[in-house]
Each structure stands twice: as structure tokens, then as C-alpha cells.
């Protein structure tokens, strides 16, 4: 008797064993889906992980109900990667399964349906030349039918080809401008036959293929150094300043991999950038490039998966290059040669919630290792982790320090907000210097980008007399004022309340609007510069892929004068007519209680600044900041990454933070605060006793209550030299013990390895 250990799409630890019925023995193998029953009634689409002959003891084994696949849809590389993720990031195989596969594969309700279209063919008894000529003579009295048949013969290449081919009806009708009725009568007469063909939902581009752009001397040197480094190292960091032409180097490396018959994965941190890069890649690689991200429909994602798995729908060639965000790591690659992780420092590569809380850069390195492939990390402002790995010789490093086409780096100026307020040189959130610079750029028909590091709107009300701020009923956060609805909204749970005009604490009627977000900035620009065409690029503005593409394309075409945005505008977008970049309040990036706050701020300021500049002209950057004397700002002005890294690394070392230590963060939540406090104390005490790690907490996080759940955090710091595997084992054991105790059953616990 044979058994299958399957992964259920549930956050349950371990595998579940089912018996394989006789008739499925041939098909059942790892990577094939299995419909199984779990619990009393529920059916699930599980995935077979392994098959064996060991009968499980102690319970009655159920049988697999059905196998929907003929061949494995998950390959051995993927299963190995899943193992690594669930082990390293301390989650269940079910968590990984759920994250990895498109919905259409996992659920019966949303099962994948192939798209079909009507195809037609000349009835085979007419393929004889004499009969065909007779037919055409007859049809000359029905000109529209004649036209359609002639178009069919041209498209099908008949009679040059021996056999009349199946041809798409839609195209025939549109080419001839004839109606469905014309086609119907040809079918009725038995001249055409018809059938449904499976077609692809994925766009076909058929773009003219261009040669890659030729590289300048510095790029050639960098390309050769990358290739040399790959001989000794598996991972190489390409540290190239903005506009140094990294993409062209990637393109040359990709060409070489394709020539060897290998696949390439090109990872980007943000959907927003994929639209720009894909055009560049398509010009060189045409339809060999596929895109994969969450804005695609479930059906489209299943098609890309099937395409890579050589179960292509609609006669499309398998993609050789996949451009995508972090989830594309999970696609069924079978011969990867190169993984490019562009903008490798971006924290959007890290998945926060739900599990698996994986980091795409680190997972990409593991994926490449499984395929014996190389990894190229690219950044103008590398993460300290990657830079450190270069210093220790673990990674190779290649620098590219001048701009492509000899563009000059932008001129960066800091404006002191303290000074400006004291001298009454502020108009709302704008210093006089910034307003003048905007005016000048607009006059010269150059575009402007304004950066405001606040997601969404970020306006809130505050009592002018006592400082009271309206807060959410269910969460420990202040409510955000939404202008359009005139309501106060909680960004964590969605709770809405009417705007208050009276202070809830002292009764004063001096409620004031505080803070400012991108929407407010856009409004103010309209006041200061009437008629200027602005657009916003933030999470609210890019709910749909189309809106996002329209904004970027509109800015590229010069139909938008000014772009107001959050982090999103820093992530590798390239525009060629930006005269000025303004950062409205640089300090608020630094005020996060996070050991990465300095690193993030430095990266953000340089990335945003990098958007300024045009051919033959130096771009300008104005940074408004309260603490304008900070050393950090002078490092930004000098674009001195090395000095920045040196000072930050020494600080990280003295306080035992990554890359010198590993962090694991345990978050516990419960509706009952006392139980939470007890459980957290029990866990922290156990961990203190049983590990060498430094335990910080338990502490309430900055926002200590969300959706009526109280939160508590424990942070474990483990020196790099010590075994992190042992620490994880201890955590697993301690959590299991804790969960056994009845009183803590309702405390929810999540573990985040390498929190970002
Ligand atoms: Zn008050
Ligand atoms: Zn709330």
C-alpha cells in the first residue's frame, strides 16, 4: 500500500498522510495536487510532498479523493525552496503553499478556467484545388462571404501550405469588417468548420527586436568585473549610483544567460517600476519576457505558472525571463542561470504579514543556490547587510560611480525649517527657497517632484488648548482626517467617526488640523501655482494598475508638471526632464523608533534626489529639515555612501544589531491584556533561561492595540557567531509548551525572523 504526505493549505504544522487509491498510483508523485478531506466534511486541494509505504499508526487513514493533475505542477526545486522557507522563517509548509501558489490552483471555487476562442478551418473536402475554385466562382455572387473566405485563405496560407490551418475567427472578422452572420452562413453551407481553441490571456507584443544598447567604457569595465567576480562568488553586488546605467549591464548579462538556454529572474521591489523596465526589456527580448505580480488576475497568474511549467495554454512559447515582485520567486523555474535583485536595499522585499515573513533578496540567494545560478544585487545605496557581506568577502562587489551619458549628479541644498520659521519665511509647508526653486523650474518647462514621507493623507485633529487628539476606539492610534468624506478614519481597522469640533478632554472649541500628507501638498500647490498640472503617486493613487501606468506615462510625456509622492517615487523610476526634487520634511523619517531609521533616511534621500537631472543640465534638490546640522545631511550632500556605512556599521556593532547579530521578533496578541502580559512574561522567562540570546522585552510596541487586540513584543538578539538554528529550536519548543497551557490558548503568536 502506498501513502502520500500532503501539504494542506492551512497554517498547521507538519504534513498529513493519505492513502493513494490503486487507480492513482501512476500519477501520484511529489508536486501533484490531491483533493482530500480534512476534518468532518471539508475538502481541500492539497499538494503531495512525498510518497512512501509506511502505514501511519494510531488513526484510520483516509484516501485521496481525486488527483486533478496529469503532471507535477510544483517541481523539486520549488519543494526544496519551500522546505528552506518554512524552516528558516519558522512557519508551516501550509503557510508557504498558500503564499506560493495562485488562488486558481488552491481552491475549487476559484479554479482556473482556460480561455477559449472560436477558430475556423476550410472544410477538408474543399482542399482539392478544383473544388476550391468552383467554390470561389459560386461565392462571387455573395461578395461578403467571398471576402471572408479570401481572407481565411490568406491567413491560413492555403493552398501554399498542404493543409488548411485553424485560424482565429475574431481576427478574420475584424480584418474583413464582416459580421458574424456572414461566418454563420458559411458554416451552414458546410464551407467552414469551427471549434473552440484554448488561447492565452497574456498579451503578445510582437515588438520589433532591437540590439542591446552599446555600453560605454565604464559600463564595459563593470560588466567584465561582474563576470570575473562570478567565477569566484555566487553573489555579486553592483553598487552603481543612480543613472549609471545598471539596467543596460543587466541586459547584457541576461542575453548571455539566454544564449546558454538558461532562465533569468529579474526581481523588483515595487509594481510601479515594472511598467518602466518591462518596456526596455521587451525592446530587446520581445515576448521572451513575462511579468508576474499581484495586480494580475488569478487566471493570468495561473497561465504564467503553466507557461513556465511547459503546460502552455494557447500555443505560447515558454518565457525565459520573468520580471516581477517578490512573489515571482515561487514560480516553477527549472533552469535558472541568473537572478537579478534590483534595488536590493528596499524593505518592500520583506513580507510582513501573513506568514511566511520572508525576505525576497535572501530567499532569491537560496533559490539561486538550488539551481547553481548566480545572483546580482543592484543598488545605488546598498543595504548595510549586503555591503557588510562585501567587506567580509562573502559577496563580490563592483562599483559604477559615474552617471551614464556623463550626467552631472544633482546639486543638493538643505533648508533649515527652524531658521525659516523664525524668520517667518514659511508659507504653510513650503520654505521661500523651495517655492522659488519650483517657480524657476516651471518657468523653464522642467518637471518637479515633491516627496512627502507620509502614506495617504496623514492629517489629524488636535486641541489647540490641551493637545488632546481624537483616537480610534479599537486601536491605540490617532484618527486620520479624510478630506473627501469629511470623516476621521482609523488606518489600522477602518473605524470611521464624524469630525469633532469640540475637544473631548477640555471642551475647548479650538480643534486644529495638524500634520500633512500628499493630498494636502497637492492642494497647496494648486493655491501657490494655479494651473499647474499635478498628480499624486502614493498607495491611494495606485489602487489600480491602470491609474499607476497612466500617471507614470503622463509624467513621461510631459502632461503632468509636478508629481507629489511618498516612498513610491524613490523606487527606481527614471524620468528625463526633472529639474527639481523637493523633500518637504526630512526629519520625520528619522523619528521612527527603529534601528534602521538612519539607513532608511539616507537611502531615501539619495534615491529621491537621484530622480533630478536632465541631459546636459544639473538637477537641483532641496531638502527641508528641522535638524539641518545633522552629519547625515552632509553625507547626503556629498553622496558619501562609504562614510555613511562606516559610521552606521560601527554603531550597529556596538549595540549588537544586524549585520553583527540576528534578530527574531515574537509578537503576541490577545483581547485580554492580563492574559497577554502573563503569557509574554512566561515566554520571555523561558527564553532567557534556555538561550544565550539577549532578550529584549516583553514590551508594548509603539501602537499597542489594534482592532481591540493588545500587542506585546519580545526581541531576541543573537550574536552572528552563535547558532541561530539552536535558538529557533528553543523558540519552537517554548511556543509548543506555551500553547499546551489552557489559559494561553487564545493568545496568538507570530514569529518574524530577520524583521525589516
Ligand atoms: Zn482640549
Ligand atoms: Zn482602529
Q: Are residues 232 and 333 in the same domain?
A: yes
- Exposed, middle or buried: residue 637 (CB in 10 Å: 0-12, 13-18, 19+)? middle
- Domain end residue (candidates: 627, 651, 675): 651
**Residue 321 near residue 278 (C-beta atoms within 8 A):** no
How far is the centre of ligand 2, averaged over its atoms, from the C-alpha of 671 (Å)? 14
> What is the structure's pLDDT at 111?
67
- Smallest Cα–Cα separation from 174: which of 133, 118, 215? 118
Report the number of distinct structural domains present in the chain: 5
At which residue does the C-alpha cell 506585546 appear?
Answer: 712
- Residue 437 C-alpha from the chain's centroid: 34
Residue 502 lies in a domain: no
How far is the centre of ligand 1, averaged over its atoms, from the C-alpha of 469 (Å)? 8
Q: Are residues 89 and 153 in the same domain?
A: no
**Backbone φ, ψ for residue 397 (5° rounding):** -135, 135
Residue 206 lies in a domain: no
Q: Are residues 317 and 413 in the same domain?
A: no
Which ligand has the shortest distance to the CA of 496?
2
- Smallest Cα–Cα separation from 260: which of 373, 378, 366? 373
> What is the structure's pLDDT at 456?
44
**Backbone φ, ψ for residue 495 (5° rounding):** -60, 135
**Residue 250 near residue 340 (C-beta atoms within 8 A):** yes
Residue 629 lies in a domain: yes
**Residue 79 near residue 44 (C-beta atoms within 8 A):** no
> What is the structure's pLDDT at 540?
66
pLDDT at 342 > cutoff 70: yes
* DSSP strand pairing (374-379 vs 192-199): unpaired
pLDDT at 436 > cutoff 90: yes
Q: Are residues 670 and 541 in the same domain?
A: no
How far is the centre of ligand 1, averaged over its atoms, from the C-alpha of 503 (Å)? 5
> What is the structure's pLDDT at 351?
93
C-alpha to C-alpha distance for 23 and 20, rounded to whole angstroms: 8
Q: Each residue of 685-721: pLDDT tens digit?
A: 999 999 989 999 899 987 889 999 999 999 999 998 8
Average pLDDT value over all residues in the chain: 87
Q: Which residues contact residue 294 at a Cβ distance below 8 angstroms, ignoring those fewer than 6 apart?
A: 271, 325, 327
**Residue 453 near residue 521 (C-beta atoms within 8 A):** no
**Band (552; pLDDT cuts 50, 70, 90):** confident
CATH code for position 75: 3.40.1440.60
> What is the structure's pLDDT at 315?
59
Q: Which residues contact residue 238 at a Cβ distance below 8 angstroms, ignoring those fewer than 6 apart?
A: 222, 226, 246, 249, 376, 377, 378, 379, 398, 400
How far is the centre of ligand 1, averaged over its atoms, from the C-alpha of 463 (Å)? 5
Which ligand has the shortest distance to the CA of 501?
1
Q: Each residue of 496-512: pLDDT tens digit?
A: 989 888 988 898 888 88
Stronger pLDDT, 148 or 571, i.e. the higher one: 148
Name the CA dihedral angle for 45, 47, 52, 53, rounded to a multiple of 10 degrees.
Answer: 0
Residue 526 lies in a domain: yes
How far is the centre of ligand 2, averaged over its atoms, from the C-alpha of 486 (Å)? 17
Residue 563 lies in a domain: yes
CATH code for position 307: 3.40.50.300
Q: Are residues 98 and 135 in the same domain?
A: no
Mean pLDDT calculated for residue range 312-320: 74
Q: Each residue of 216-267: pLDDT tens digit?
A: 888 999 999 999 999 999 999 999 877 678 889 999 999 999 999 999 999 9
Q: Are residues 556 and 596 in the same domain?
A: yes
Mean pLDDT calculated for residue range 732-748: 92
Q: Are residues 282 and 351 in the same domain?
A: yes
Mean pLDDT calculated for residue range 437-441: 93
Q: Each residue of 385-424: pLDDT tens digit?
A: 999 999 999 999 999 877 666 667 788 999 998 888 888 8
> What is the structure's pLDDT at 239?
94
Q: Are residues 393 and 412 in the same domain?
A: no
Mean pLDDT calculated for residue range 191-207: 76
Q: Are residues 102 and 121 in the same domain?
A: no
C-alpha to C-alpha distance for 418 and 626, rounded to whole angstroms: 5
Q: Each residue of 659-689: pLDDT tens digit?
A: 999 999 999 999 999 999 999 999 999 999 9
Using a pLDDT cut of 90, give the percent of the chain over it.
Answer: 44
Which ligand has the shortest distance to the CA of 467?
1
> What is the structure's pLDDT at 589?
73
pLDDT at 457 > cutoff 60: no
C-alpha to C-alpha distance for 750 and 90, rounded to whole angstroms: 9
Which ligand has the shortest distance to the CA of 488?
2
Name the CA dihedral angle for 729, 732, 738, 740, rounded to a multiple of 10 degrees.
Answer: -110
pLDDT at 193 > cutoff 70: yes
Using a pLDDT cut of 70, give the percent of the chain over it.
Answer: 94
How far is the centre of ligand 1, averaged over its atoms, from the C-alpha of 515 (Å)? 18
pLDDT at 607 > cutoff 80: yes
Mean pLDDT calculated for residue range 37-48: 89
How far is the centre of ligand 2, averaged over its atoms, from the C-alpha of 482 (Å)? 15
Mean pLDDT calculated for residue range 42-48: 92
How far is the centre of ligand 2, averaged over its atoms, from the C-alpha of 93 (Å)? 32
Which ligand has the shortest distance to the CA of 511?
1
**Residue 504 near residue 449 (C-beta atoms within 8 A):** no
Which parts of 12-161 fold into alpha helices (H)?
Answer: 76-88, 93-100, 103-106, 129-139, 143-156
How far is the centre of ligand 1, averaged over its atoms, from the C-alpha of 640 (Å)? 46
Residue 247 lies in a domain: yes
Range(s) of the domain holding residue 732: 661-753
**Residue 84 near residue 41 (C-beta atoms within 8 A):** no
Mean pLDDT calculated for residue range 607-621: 79
DSSP letter for each residue of 562-592:
EEEESGGGGSS---SEEEEEEES-SHHHHTS
- Domain end residue (candidates: 170, 199, 228): 199
**Band (96; pLDDT cuts 50, 70, 90):** very high
Neighbour tally for 395: CB within 10 Å: 21
**Band (148; pLDDT cuts 50, 70, 90):** confident
Q: Are residues 297 and 344 in the same domain?
A: yes
Q: Are residues 400 and 413 in the same domain?
A: no
Residues measured by CB to lie within 5 Å of ligand 1, the ion: 463, 465-466, 468, 503, 505-506, 508
How far is the centre of ligand 2, averaged over its atoms, from the C-alpha of 677 (Å)? 21
How far is the centre of ligand 2, averaged over its atoms, from the C-alpha of 479 (Å)? 8
**Band (280; pLDDT cuts 50, 70, 90):** confident
Q: Are residues 320 and 423 in the same domain?
A: no
How far is the centre of ligand 2, averaged over its atoms, from the C-alpha of 703 (Å)? 11
Q: Each residue of 75-94: pLDDT tens digit?
A: 999 999 999 999 999 999 99
> What is the structure's pLDDT at 441?
92
**Band (438; pLDDT cuts 50, 70, 90):** very high
Stronger pLDDT, 311 or 96, i.e. the higher one: 96
CATH code for position 718: 3.30.70.600
Q: pTM of the entire structure?
A: 0.84
How far is the centre of ligand 2, averaged over its atoms, from the C-alpha of 716 (Å)? 29
Residue 429 lies in a domain: yes
- Domain end residue (candidates: 199, 226, 241): 199
Which ligand has the shortest distance to the CA of 476?
2
> What is the structure's pLDDT at 207?
66
How far is the centre of ligand 2, averaged over its atoms, from the C-alpha of 270 (Å)? 27
C-alpha to C-alpha distance for 67 and 47, rounded to whole angstroms: 10
pLDDT at 157 > cutoff 90: no
> What is the structure's pLDDT at 94?
93
Residue 135 lies in a domain: yes
Amino acid at each position: 500500500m502506498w501513502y502520500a504526505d500532503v501539504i494542506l493549505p492551512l497554517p498547521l504544522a507538519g504534513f498529513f498522510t493519505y492513502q493513494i487509491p490503486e487507480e492513482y498510483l501512476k500519477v501520484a508523485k511529489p508536486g501533484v495536487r490531491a483533493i482530500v478531506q480534512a476534518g468532518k466534511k471539508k475538502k481541500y486541494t492539497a499538494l503531495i510532498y512525498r510518497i512512501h509505504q509506511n502505514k501511519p499508526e494510531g488513526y484510520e487513514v483516509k484516501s485521496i479523493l481525486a488527483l486533478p493533475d496529469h503532471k507535477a505542477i510544483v517541481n523539486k526545486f520549488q519543494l526544496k525552496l519551500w522546505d528552506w522557507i518554512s524552516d528558516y522563517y519558522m512557519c508551516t509548509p501550509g503557510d508557504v503553499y498558500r503564499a506560493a501558489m495562485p488562488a486558481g490552483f488552491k481552491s475549487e471555487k476559484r479554479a482556473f478556467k482556460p480561455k477559449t476562442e472560436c477558430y475556423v478551418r476550410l472544410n477538408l473536402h474543399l482542399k482539392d484545388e478544383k473544388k476550391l475554385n468552383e467554390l470561389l466562382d459560386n461565392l462571387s455572387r455573395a461578395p461578403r462571404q467571398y471576402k471572408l473566405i479570401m481572407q481565411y485563405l490568406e491567413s491560413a496560407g492555403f493552398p501554399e501550405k498542404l493543409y488548411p490551418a485553424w485560424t482565429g475567427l475574431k481576427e478574420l472578422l475584424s480584418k474583413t469588417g464582416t459580421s458574424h452572420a456572414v461566418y454563420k452562413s458559411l458554416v451552414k453551407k458546410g464551407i467552414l468548420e469551427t471549434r473552440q481553441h484554448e488561447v492565452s490571456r497574456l498579451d503578445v507584443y510582437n515588438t520589433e527586436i532591437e540590439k542591446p544598447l552599446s555600453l560605454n567604457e565604464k559600463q564595459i569595465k563593470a560588466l567584465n568585473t561582474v563576470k570575473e567576480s562570478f567565477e569566484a562568488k555566487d553573489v555579486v553586488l553592483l553598487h552603481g549610483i543612480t543613472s549609471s546605467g545598471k539596467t543596460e549591464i543587466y541586459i547584457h548579462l541576461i542575453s548571455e544567460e539566454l544564449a546558454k538556454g538558461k532562465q533569468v529572474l529579474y526581481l523588483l521591489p515595487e509594481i510601479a517600476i515594472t511598467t518602466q523596465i518591462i518596456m526596455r526589456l521587451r525592446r530587446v527580448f520581445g515576448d521572451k519576457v513575462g511579468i508576474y505580480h499581484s495586480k494580475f488576475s488569478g487566471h493570468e497568474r495561473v497561465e504564467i505558472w503553466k507557461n513556465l511549467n511547459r503546460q502552455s495554454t494557447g500555443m505560447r512559447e515558454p518565457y525565459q525571463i520573468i520580471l516581477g515582485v517578490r512573489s515571482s520567486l515561487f514560480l516553477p523555474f527549472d533552469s535558472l542561470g541568473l537572478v537579478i535583485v534590483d534595488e536590493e536595499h528596499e524593505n518592500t522585499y520583506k513580507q510582513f504579514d501573513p506568514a511566511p515573513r520572508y525576505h525576497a533578496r535572501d530567499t532569491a540567494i537560496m533559490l539561486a543556490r538550488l539551481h547553481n545560478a548566480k545572483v546580482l544585487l543592484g543598488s545605488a545605496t546598498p543595504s548595510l547587510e549586503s555591503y557588510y557581506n562585501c567587506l567580509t568577502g562573502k559577496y563580490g562587489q563592483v562599483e559604477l560611480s559615474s552617471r551614464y551619458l556623463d550626467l552631472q549628479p544633482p546639486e543638493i541644498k538643505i533648508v533649515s525649517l527652524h531658521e525659516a520659521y523664525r524668520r517667518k519665511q514659511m508659507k504653510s509647508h513650503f520654505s521661500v527657497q523651495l517655492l522659488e526653486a519650483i517657480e524657476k523650474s516651471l518657468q523653464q518647462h522642467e518637471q518637479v517632484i515633491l516627496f512627502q514621507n507620509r502614506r495617504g493623507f496623514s492629517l489629524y485633529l488636535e486641541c489647540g488648548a490641551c493637545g488632546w487628539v481624537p483616537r480610534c476606539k479599537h486601536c491605540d492610534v490617532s484618527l486620520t482626517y479624510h478630506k473627501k468624506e469629511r470623516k476621521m478614519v482609523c488606518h489600522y481597522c477602518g473605524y470611521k467617526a464624524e469630525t469633532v469640533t469640540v475637544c473631548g478632554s477640555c471642551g475647548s472649541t479650538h480643534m486644529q488640523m495638524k500634520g500633512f500628507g500628499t493630498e494636502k501638498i497637492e492642494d497647496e500647490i494648486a493655491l501657490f501655482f494655479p494651473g499647474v498640472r499635478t498628480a499624486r503617486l502614493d498607495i491611494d493613487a495606485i489602487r489600480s494598475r491602470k491609474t499607476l501606468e497612466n500617471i507614470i506615462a503622463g509624467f513621461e510625456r510631459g502632461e503632468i508638471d509636478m508629481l507629489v509622492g511618498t516612498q513610491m517615487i524613490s523606487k527606481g523610476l527614471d524620468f528625463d526632464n526633472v529639474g527639481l526634487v523637493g523633500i518637504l520634511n526630512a526629519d520625520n523619517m528619522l523619528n521612527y523608533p527603529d534601528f534602521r531609521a538612519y539607513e532608511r533616511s539616507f537611502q531615501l534621500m539619495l534615491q529621491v534626489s537621484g530622480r533630478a537631472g536632465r541631459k546636459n543640465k544639473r538637477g537641483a534638490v532641496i531638502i527641508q529639515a528641522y535638524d539641518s546640522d545633522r552629519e547625515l545631511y552632509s553625507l547626503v550632500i556629498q553622496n558619501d555612501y562609504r562614510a555613511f556605512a562606516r559610521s552606521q556599521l560601527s554603531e550597529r556593532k556596538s549595540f549588537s544589531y544586524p549585520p553583527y547579530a540576528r534578530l527574531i521578533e515574537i509578537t503576541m496578541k490577545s483581547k485580554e491584556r492580563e492574559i497577554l502580559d502573563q503569557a509574554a512574561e512566561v515566554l520571555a522567562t523561558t527564553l532567557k533561561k534556555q538561550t544565550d540570546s539577549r532578550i529584549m522585552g516583553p514590551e508594548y510596541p509603539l501602537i499597542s492595540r489594534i482592532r481591540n487586540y493588545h500587542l506585546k513584543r519580545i526581541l531576541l538578539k543573537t550574536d552572528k557567531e552563535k547558532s541561530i538554528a539552536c535558538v529557533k529550536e528553543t523558540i519552537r519548543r517554548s511556543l509548543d509548551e506555551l500553547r499546551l497551557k489552557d489559559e494561553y490558548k487564545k493568545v496568538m503568536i507570530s514569529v518574524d525572523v530577520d524583521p525589516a
